[in-house]
Structure 1
Amino acid sequence: MSTIMFKTIEASDIPALMDIYNHFVMNSTASFHTEPVTITEFTESVIHPNSRFQTFVITLDGELQGYVQVMPHKKKQAYATTGEVTIYLQPGCVGKGIGSAAIQFIETFAKEQDFHSLISTICADNKPSIHMFSKNGYTQCAHFREVGFKWGKFLDIVTYQKII
């Protein structure tokens, strides 16, 4: 049986995780970046000075699969009990249960950090992510039309939420 593990991100993990993220930048609408991010940009997106917000590396049988994180939803103080969940996995990881395990792991961590609500903002074209969050109890609470523009077309985003 395969073993999925999570560990707090370390500086040595950043280049490999950035490669996963940049794959989606260049090959999908999962990210609204239109050019690869730099090591500095990526580091700033996965390392937060407040320990309530964390990024965890995901491995399957010791092999790097991606990352999951809970980060601030907004900077204003009243949003302190809401976190934004992001998951990026190696291409080809769909259907192995890694995404669902990552959601369950980050929800447990978020509860320990006194979060009340988790959200995920997803490109409406990203059916696998929508399916993954839906099957884990997240419900769509917003749909913003044509808010992104990538590869010559306007893109919608949807927001999924779960009260934990």
Structure 2
Amino acid sequence: MNCEELSFAEIGEEHLAEATDIYNYYVLNTTVSFHTKQLTIQEMRRNMLTDDPRFKSYAVMQDEEMQGYVLIARHKSKQAYDVTGEISVYLKPECTGKKFGRPALAFIERMAAEQGFHTLVATVCSENGPSRSFFESSGYEQSAYYREIGRKFGRWLDIVVYQKRVGA
């Protein structure tokens, strides 16, 4: 697989089942997601297909096949936060480590800048070393560390928040 062959398509109904499967893998098998129960397609629809054109989700495509997705979500619901987006990158498990993440992240950063976002934040479980390294090596700075903020698989989990300025 060659990451230069990646393209991005705005998530539509035709992508929801596969996006749900990708996400639910992480729900059931990892601490990447702090959900403890699988999401339904309807729940994913509410998360990914918003009425606000600034908060979008995109399928990561290669050879017309979905390899994962990236999204910009609302960071907080108060108006002063409207200049900040929370981003997520989810790839099929077999696509991790194949250099798909960097072009996906660069794409969502460009989309965010075009939509007028000033800052992007990414929230990562502290034990997720690969994601932490990924964001750090992509110019994100650690801005917060919350201890024992979640509980999954019978363990307390910490989160790390990273941020990067993408706009003026």
Q: TM-score, normalised by structure 2?
A: 0.94
Q: How does 1:20-59 map to 2 (within 5 A)?
A: 20-59=22-61
List per-residue Cα deviations over 1:23-74 (Å, max 9, x = no partner).
0000000011111111111111111110011000001233211100011100
Q: What letter matches 2:77 in structure 1?
A: K
CA distance in structure 1 between the aligned counterparts of 2:8 and 2:135, rounded to whole angstroms = 19
**Which residue number corresponds to residue 17 of structure 1?**
19
**Which residue number corresponds to residue 79 of structure 1?**
81
Structure 1 segments of 4 or more deviating over 4 A? none
List per-residue Cα deviations over 1:104-146 (Å, max 9, x = no partner).
0001000110000000001111111111111110011100000
Count of matched residue positions in the alignment of Structure 1 and Structure 2:
164
Which runs of 5 or more structure 1 residues have no equivalent in the other structure? none
Q: What letter matches 2:75 in structure 1?
A: H
Question: Secondary structure of 1:69's partner?
Answer: strand
Within the candidate set 102, 118, 125, 1:100 is matched to 102
**Which residue number corresponds to residue 142 of structure 1?**
144
Identity of aligned pairs, percent?
45
Q: CA RMSD in A?
A: 1.0
Q: TM-score, normalised by structure 1?
A: 0.97
1:127 aligns to 2:129 (yes or no): yes
